[in-house]
Chain A
């Protein structure tokens, strides 16, 4: 079957660093996406990884290990506005269908 697992909720402090993990088991693999979703809003694109390694985009970085079926999103210098749900999604065999995790709710405390 196809499955994406991520922690349900995490708490971090403003200014700190947090790592949100995602493990996936999908039929085929054509890349992994990370999206941010604030409550009641649309998901917004953060990153896409298809090769092993770390991709850095400002305060956000995403890592992929295809052999381990594992990815993480690293958020640095946390700000209160980073409080949101973070969803990982795998693009499998079809190239058109994303399989989504349930999302990790990140709570930032002052």
Chain B
């Protein structure tokens, strides 16, 4: 049973460009959360998608946007990239309801984004 799959694994972009990161949740999961993790820091919540809608958003600017598709997969888009956007972007999936507390969120291995 595949876990959470993220693509690409690594990406190098130039300031001002736009990037799209992709996530396929674990089988049976319907909720996708996106996190940004700077080196040596804990993850920072970007937003969560459920039923193709953004359900909750963290303290990130509108340059960060997302989408969830009918098959529960998700995309994270970042426009007008800044050097400070360089980080590991993690996708976490869960089953809506109490399951996330019993089994936890399942994380993908992340996309390492470098902005130069």
Contact = CB atoms under 8 A, between A and B. Distances in A.
Nearest to B102: A48
Interface residues of B, number: 23
Interface of A, helix, strand, loop or mixed by DSSP: strand
Contacts, number: 55
Given A97-B56, A100-B42, A33 B104 contact: yes
Interface string B11-30: 00000000000000000000
Interface string A64-87: 000000000000000000000001
Contacts of B45: 97-99
A27 to B, nearest CB: 13
A60 interface: no
Nearest to A48: B101
B65 interface: no
User: Interface range on chain A: under 10, 10 to 19, 20 to 34, or 35 or more?
Assistant: 20 to 34
Interface string A25-60: 000000101010000011111101010000000000
A20 interface: no
Nearest to A50: B101
B107 A43 contact: yes
Interface in B44-71: 44-45, 48, 55-56, 58
Nearest to B45: A97
Contact of A96 (B33, B101, B102, B110): B33
23 contacts: A4-B42, A42-B107, A42-B108, A42-B110, A44-B104, A44-B107, A45-B104, A45-B106, A48-B102, A48-B104, A87-B42, A89-B42, A91-B101, A94-B56, A96-B33, A97-B48, A97-B58, A98-B43, A100-B42, A100-B43, A100-B44, A102-B42, A103-B40
Given A42-B109, A97-B45, 11 more contacts: A4-B42, A42-B4, A42-B107, A42-B110, A44-B107, A45-B105, A48-B104, A94-B56, A96-B33, A97-B58, A103-B42
